[in-house]
């Protein structure tokens, strides 16, 4: 009997009649009538964007394709292919060098132009490393020969790979960047192969054009040849093949050169839109994946609008319910007041009972739930504190062995040249550095001790580079007693030797400063005279450093390690600034609270993220 006349039952019936039934019906009707039109609109927009991207890539590749055909326009090319070059034929050799150089400077993306003439097995190349290179060569890249020979257009577009010399030299060129190679087989009027011309160009322009075609946060884009070799995105592994994707075979079965089909699998659920380049340009396929979630985004927005309208109607229902009976709703007010208090951080409930009906039972269960949540929060934050401690130890143990290797090389060189005393000093400095770096029992030290450690490090670097390196210390005495985390200066100094020192034209220079700022902030800076960082790269580095999700994308662990450890101790009170110096070089600035007590620093670390727990424990 109690549940037949319960508040819950009456409220459910009222809400269904006034809101849920018409509201749900309007959502279904609206969604049904709009989803198809919105889907077609989205498909048309994406197809147009893919077409524009295809034309941009096609125009770029056609320019390179015409460049390979320019060999036939050279009057001397027929003689070159037929007879090759004699050893003393300087005039013809000069003409060939000028021609290859013109091809090389066609655009900034070209890394190397290679020519092979089979008549005398002669090979020539022009690259950023070699102005002109010529050599007798038995060209044995069988894959290239087979693909160009079997191609209707005598061309073969090779997937991204490390730049090589095509056999002219051993190994790879000075860069490890990926290049795409356009090969063309040279034939005489009888269509008999006479040689190969190859253009190696970097992937920058292709990748930039590809990145304009899709939204990385919501969509996927692939650039692949019909055999499944991925041109974008490039993955340096054996899995760099589109043929490994379950939708690739279905794509090849499509009869039209552009279009779309729907796909549903465990990895992807949505529509696949595709377009293709001409066979003369490798027949590359442009494939874009749009999930149903993105495809129906606008329809979902309409649904959300209807939901918002429904919520307004529900508010009116609540007002009507309050009008019917203040006594029925007063316990609800008490419950809401306690919920607001809990949202503000106070986990105490100040009512004893709300009655014996359903609301009273709800109040009792609510109190029990809050007690359970309070205990779980306390347990969770204790685990969080332990996790932070473990993070500190892991981050502190990430010491780059690069410096130790160079230091040992310096010691070996001095041992050969100078004898025992100098070696002893260097070994002692190295021993101090290793002892300080690997002692995990001490994570907080006075700033003076940190400076002594950096000084030992720079002694070894000074011995290594001698007069090529000048040092300047600007450390105020009143900050030497500040307590700081270990290893926050040395990684910044080490970055200079890893990334900038070898590129300095004159002698290297380092200025290390430490002083008080605004009386309660410790200011530390490391300034060098290196080459600095381009403005756009510097802005990107700042964004990555202050974005927790992008921080791991920064190459190297030095700066990330320092910033991560400082945030674990001081939270948002830590500031890191990178800026280029006017006369050349880079300055890294750290700003953190000036604290002279180790216990205070630890207390600050414990308060980060656990203030809520302490307010309840009081």
Among residues 324, 270, 326, the alpha carbon closest in space to that of 296 is found at 270
List of residues 6+ apart from 190 with CB closer than 8 A: none
Fold of 397-607: Heat Shock Protein 90 (3.30.565)
pLDDT at 418: 67
- Band (455; pLDDT cuts 50, 70, 90): very high
- Band (297; pLDDT cuts 50, 70, 90): confident
Euclidean distance between CA atoms 462 and 473, whole angstroms: 14
- Band (613; pLDDT cuts 50, 70, 90): very low
Average pLDDT over residues 539-546: 82
The model's pLDDT over 572-607, given as tens digits with 9 standing for 90+, comes to: 899 999 999 988 889 999 999 999 999 999 888 877
Euclidean distance between CA atoms 199 and 405, whole angstroms: 39
- Band (383; pLDDT cuts 50, 70, 90): low
Lowest mean pLDDT among 105-119, 247-261, 330-344: 330-344
Euclidean distance between CA atoms 53 and 333, whole angstroms: 59
Average pLDDT over residues 516-541: 89
| 1-313 is classed CATH 3.40.50.2300 | no
128 and 111 in contact (C-beta within 8 Å)? yes
The model's pLDDT over 117-170, given as tens digits with 9 standing for 90+, comes to: 998 899 999 987 777 888 888 888 888 888 998 899 999 999 998 888 887 776
pLDDT at 553: 58
List of residues 6+ apart from 165 with CB closer than 8 A: 125, 133, 171, 172, 173
Tokens 């009997």 found at: 1
Residue 96 three-state SS: helix
Q: Mean pLDDT highest for which of 161-170, 275-284, 347-356?
A: 275-284
457 and 410 in contact (C-beta within 8 Å)? no
The average confidence (pLDDT) of the chain is 81
285 and 224 in contact (C-beta within 8 Å)? yes
Residue predicted with more confidence, 320 or 527: 527
Domain parsing of the chain, residue ranges = 1-313, 325-394, 397-607
Lowest mean pLDDT among 35-39, 234-238, 570-574: 234-238
- Band (294; pLDDT cuts 50, 70, 90): confident
Residue predicted with more confidence, 408 or 282: 282
Strand pairing report for 193-202 and 178-187: antiparallel
Average pLDDT over residues 166-180: 71
Q: What percent of the chain clears pLDDT 90, i.e. is strictly above it?
A: 30
Average pLDDT over residues 270-293: 92
Euclidean distance between CA atoms 212 and 221, whole angstroms: 10
554 has a pLDDT exceeding 70: no
385 has a pLDDT exceeding 80: no
What does the block give as tokens for 250? 């279905």
304 has a pLDDT exceeding 50: yes
3 has a pLDDT exceeding 50: no
The model's pLDDT over 88-126, given as tens digits with 9 standing for 90+, comes to: 788 888 899 999 999 999 999 999 999 999 988 999 999
CA dihedral 211, 214, 220, 224 (to 10 degrees): -60
- Band (471; pLDDT cuts 50, 70, 90): very high
611 has a pLDDT exceeding 50: no
Tokens 């001081």 found at: 570
pLDDT at 616: 42
Q: What is the DSSP string of 518-579?
A: TTTEEEEEEEE-S----HHHHHHHHHHHT-TTTGGGSSSSHHHHHHHHHHHHHGGG-EEEEE
Residue predicted with more confidence, 125 or 307: 125
Element (H, E) at 290: strand 285-291
Euclidean distance between CA atoms 374 and 603, whole angstroms: 22
CA 438 from centre of chain: 30
pLDDT at 318: 58
- Band (411; pLDDT cuts 50, 70, 90): low
340 has a pLDDT exceeding 90: no
Among residues 453, 230, 421, 309, the alpha carbon closest in space to that of 220 is found at 230
Average pLDDT over residues 499-513: 87
Euclidean distance between CA atoms 253 and 274, whole angstroms: 12
Question: DSSP alpha helices (H): ranges in 191-325?
Answer: 204-211, 248-252, 292-295, 297-324
Residue predicted with more confidence, 28 or 133: 133
pLDDT at 187: 93
């Amino acid at each position: 009997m109690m549940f037949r006349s319960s508040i819950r039952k009456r409220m459910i019936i009222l809400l269904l009649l006034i809101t849920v039934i018409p509201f749900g019906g309007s959502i279904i009707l609206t969604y049904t009538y709009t989803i198809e039109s919105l889907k077609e609109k989205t498909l048309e927009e994406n197809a147009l964007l893919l077409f524009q991207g295809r034309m941009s890539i096609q125009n770029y590749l056609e320019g390179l394709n015409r460049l390979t055909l320019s060999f036939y326009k050279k009057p001397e090319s027929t003689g070159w292919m037929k007879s090759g070059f004699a050893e003393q034929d300087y005039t013809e050799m000069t003409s060939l060098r000028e021609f290859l150089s013109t091809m090389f400077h066609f655009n900034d993306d070209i890394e190397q132009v290679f020519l092979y003439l089979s008549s005398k097995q002669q090979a020539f190349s022009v690259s950023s490393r070699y102005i002109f290179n010529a050599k007798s060569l038995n060209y044995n890249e069988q894959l290239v020969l087979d693909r160009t020979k079997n191609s209707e257009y005598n061309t073969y577009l090779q997937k991204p790979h490390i730049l090589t010399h095509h056999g002219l030299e051993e190994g790879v060129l000075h860069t490890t960047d990926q290049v795409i190679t356009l090969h063309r087989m040279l034939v005489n009027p009888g269509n008999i192969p006479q040689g190969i011309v190859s253009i190696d160009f970097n992937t920058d322009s292709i990748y930039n054009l590809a990145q304009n075609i899709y939204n990385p946060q919501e969509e996927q884009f692939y650039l692949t040849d019909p055999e499944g070799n991925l041109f974008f995105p490039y993955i340096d592994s054996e899995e760099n093949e589109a043929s490994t994707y379950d939708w690739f075979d279905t794509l090849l079965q499509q009869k039209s050169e552009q279009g779309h089909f729907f796909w549903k699998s465990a990895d992807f659920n949505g529509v696949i839109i595709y377009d293709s380049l001409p066979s003369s340009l490798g027949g590359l396929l442009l494939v874009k994946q749009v999930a149903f979630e993105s495809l129906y985004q606008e329809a979902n927005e309409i649904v959300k609008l209807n939901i918002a309208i429904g919520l307004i109607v529900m508010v009116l229902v609540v007002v009507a319910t309050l009008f019917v009976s203040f006594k029925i709703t007063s316990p609800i007010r008490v419950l809401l007041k306690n919920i607001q208090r809990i949202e503000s951080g106070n986990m105490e409930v100040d009512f004893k009972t709300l009655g014996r009906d359903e609301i009273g039972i709800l109040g009792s269960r609510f109190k029990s739930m809050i007690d359970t949540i309070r205990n779980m929060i306390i347990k969770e934050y204790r685990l969080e504190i332990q996790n932070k401690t473990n993070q500190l130890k892991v981050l502190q143990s990430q010491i780059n062995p690069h410096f130790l290797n160079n230091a040992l090389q310096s010691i070996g060189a001095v041992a050969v040249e100078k004898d025992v005393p100098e070696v002893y000093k260097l070994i002692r400095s190295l021993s101090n550095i290793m002892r300080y770096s690997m002692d995990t029992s001490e994570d907080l030290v006075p700033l003076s001790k940190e400076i002594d450690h950096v000084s030992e490090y720079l002694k070894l670097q000074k011995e290594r580079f001698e007069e090529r390196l000048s040092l300047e210390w600007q450390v105020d005495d009143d900050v030497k007693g500040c307590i700081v985390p270990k290893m926050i200066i040395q990684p910044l100094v080490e970055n200079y030797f890893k990334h900038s020192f070898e590129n300095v034209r004159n002698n290297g220079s380092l200025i290390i400063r430490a002083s008080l700022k605004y009386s309660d902030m410790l200011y530390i800076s490391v300034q060098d005279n290196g080459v600095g960082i381009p403005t756009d790269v510097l802005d990107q580095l700042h964004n990555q450093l202050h974005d927790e999700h992008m921080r791991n994308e920064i190459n190297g662990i030095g700066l990330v390690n320092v910033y991560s450890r400082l945030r674990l101790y001081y939270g948002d009170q830590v500031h890191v600034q990178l800026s280029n110096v006017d006369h050349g070089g880079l300055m890294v600035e750290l700003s953190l609270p000036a604290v002279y007590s180790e216990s205070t620093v630890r207390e600050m670390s414990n308060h980060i993220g656990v203030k809520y727990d302490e307010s309840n424990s009081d």
